[in-house]
Chain A
Amino acid sequence: MTGFKPVYRKELYSFFASPTFYVVALIFLVIAGYFYFSAVSYYSILSFQGMQNPMWARQLNPTEMVLRPFFMDISVIMLLICPLLTMRVLAEEKKNNTSELLFTYPLTDSGVLLGKFFATLSVLFIIILGTLPSLVYFGTLTTIHWPIVAAGYLGLFLLGAAFVSLGILASSLTENQIIAAVLAFGALLLFWVIGWSKAFAGPQLAGFVSYISIINHFENFAKGVIDIRDVVYYVVFATFFLFLTLRFLESQRWRG
């Protein structure tokens, strides 16, 4: 495992030294802010109407009407920005030949890979946490259940881990960052939409496609439900793709 700490620190430094991080964070927060604004605006309009109509007032639920859509919206933006964060992780090292330094230092491959994985995940989560102040503000306007918010962020973290692991695999396949980003985005989108085919997949396959779908497991978190099966899904997903990446790095070495 030697290599985790130096590589983790180096990757964080590189992220914060590159303009990509700031542009991605800015765009993410602007879009997330827009979604937050529209969810809260809708909620406040309905609240006014609820004052006149007690029947509607019963349906006014900040978790259902703001938190859940907000977390679902963030997951969509994550799908767009994750490939942009992961594309450089291994492709850039190969392109600049710095992999030659990295893999001749006394570091294990798994240490290097995990350092890179957790650094990218940390960066992603730092960006995501940029949305927390808006929820804190919302909390001053109405009563929200903070454990639900915590579950939502845990879900985003796990979903992020899955996204990042697949993105890093894509980045290990090529030295071209654009290709890495496109591959990652395509693969993630496929894992996202595969759940939609449940309707026509046939009885046996339906269960499978909805289980394999990357976003189906997130819906519980967005509602504030932490189901251990969903946690296991994301952990296994990330571990599997990191393992594939590790194997791939090794085979690249043998081929020279």
Chain B
Amino acid sequence: MIEVESITKRYGSLVAIKDVSFSVEKGEIVGFLGPNGAGKTTTLKIITCYMPPTEGTVKVDGIDCLENSLEVRKRLGYLPESVPLYREMTVKRFLKFAAESKGVNGKKKEKEIDRVMDTCGLSEVKNRIIGHLSKGYRQRVGIAQALINDPPILIFDEPTIGLDPSQIIEIRQLIKDLGEEKTIILSSHILPEVSQVCQKVIIINRGKVIATETPANLTSQLQKTTRIILRVKSDSEPVDSIIEKLKGIPGVMNITREHQEDSLVIETDQTKDLRPVISRTVVENNWDLLEIKLHDFSLEDIFLELVTKEEEAA
């Protein structure tokens, strides 16, 4: 559906993105993830034909963004990062402009405007001036204009930024619902958002793509070891000797102490689950077992690891 082939964008001497390639299949919800200033917005602006890349090509539905940008733009609904809206207009008038611009005319226009207002919950504010609306409503107007004329591809640049938690949940749900029929690219620097909503994550840092995976795959790929968190107490034995004894278990690779005195992080071979053996050892030694659990990598850990690795390499 969307093919991005080794695009580079330079602003003068500043390289915003370098040799970025990825593709998005039909019906996918793709999360575009990266720290601030990584080049997310630049990439999205290029896909939406707002500006051409310095090098490389972008094809949407097989159509080149440079050669036939009008055809590409017809297939896209775009919500820019700053949610730009004509503030002097009423919600309805603005959506009318969006509809006319996308070539929806006549009777269909009214219907289409009513449909997107319904989807985004805007019916009760349709006659209010956009400049007077709250941030949450403005965000919805921004999404509504992207939905007009039912484009198969939706591109949302940081759709939940600056919203309060309940609004964030609403918008995420809306995006999830939309994702059932549409191809969506969603940029964000908030990780849980991406892991909740997206089927695929593209991580970008310093203008380069550093990973393209499903959230689950990312986790398993980066997780070379399994971590077990163990909290034990013993009145007779010092922690060091406990660590020594645990290190004797086959498969245990490393043990580190957490901030809490009695909490140990045991890194083990990924292939085996050592929890039964460890708990048996604890019982045999007469230590008091307070807690034992498998530590899941969160997307945050992976993200940090990828980004720091990248930075070390650079």
Contact = CB atoms under 8 A, between A and B. Distances in A.
A and B held together in a complex: yes
A197 interface: no
13 contacts: A6-B100, A6-B101, A9-B97, A13-B93, A18-B88, A96-B84, A98-B86, A100-B78, A103-B49, A105-B73, A105-B101, A105-B102, A107-B70
B85 interface: yes
Closest CB pairs A-B (n = 4):
A6-B100, A97-B84, A105-B101, A106-B73
Contacts of A9: 97, 100
B248 to A, nearest CB: 61
B140 interface: no
B101 A100 contact: no
Contacts of B22: none
Interface of A: 2-3, 5-7, 9-10, 13-14, 17-18, 96-108, 253-256
Nearest to B75: A106
B244 to A, nearest CB: 60
A254 B89 CA distance: 30
Contacts of A13: 89, 93
A254 B51 contact: yes
A6 B109 CA distance: 13
A104 B154 CA distance: 12
B30 interface: no
Given A2-B70, A14-B88, A256-B11, A106 B80 contact: no
A212 B51 CA distance: 36
Given A6-B101, A105-B73, 18 more contacts: A5-B100, A7-B101, A14-B86, A14-B88, A96-B84, A98-B86, A101-B84, A101-B98, A102-B101, A103-B49, A103-B50, A104-B49, A106-B70, A106-B102, A106-B103, A254-B51, A256-B9, A256-B51
A7 to B, nearest CB: 8
Given A96-B87, A105-B73, A6 B50 contact: no
Interface centre among B9, B80, B101, B145 (most CB of A within 10 A): B101
Contacts of B97: 6, 9-10
Interface size class of B (residues with CB under 8 A): 20 to 34
Contacts of A102: 101
A204 B50 CA distance: 47
B207 interface: no
A3 B101 contact: yes
Contact of A105 (B82, B88, B98): B98
Given A2-B70, A104-B76, A98 B85 contact: yes
Interface string B1-20: 00000000101100010000
Interface centre among A7, A9, A103, A104 (most CB of B within 10 A): A104
Contacts of B9: 256
Contact of B145 (A10, A101, A253): A101
Contact of A108 (B51, B70, B84, B98): B70
A17 B90 CA distance: 10
Interface string B205-236: 00000000000000000000000000000000
Interface string B273-300: 0000000000000000000000000000
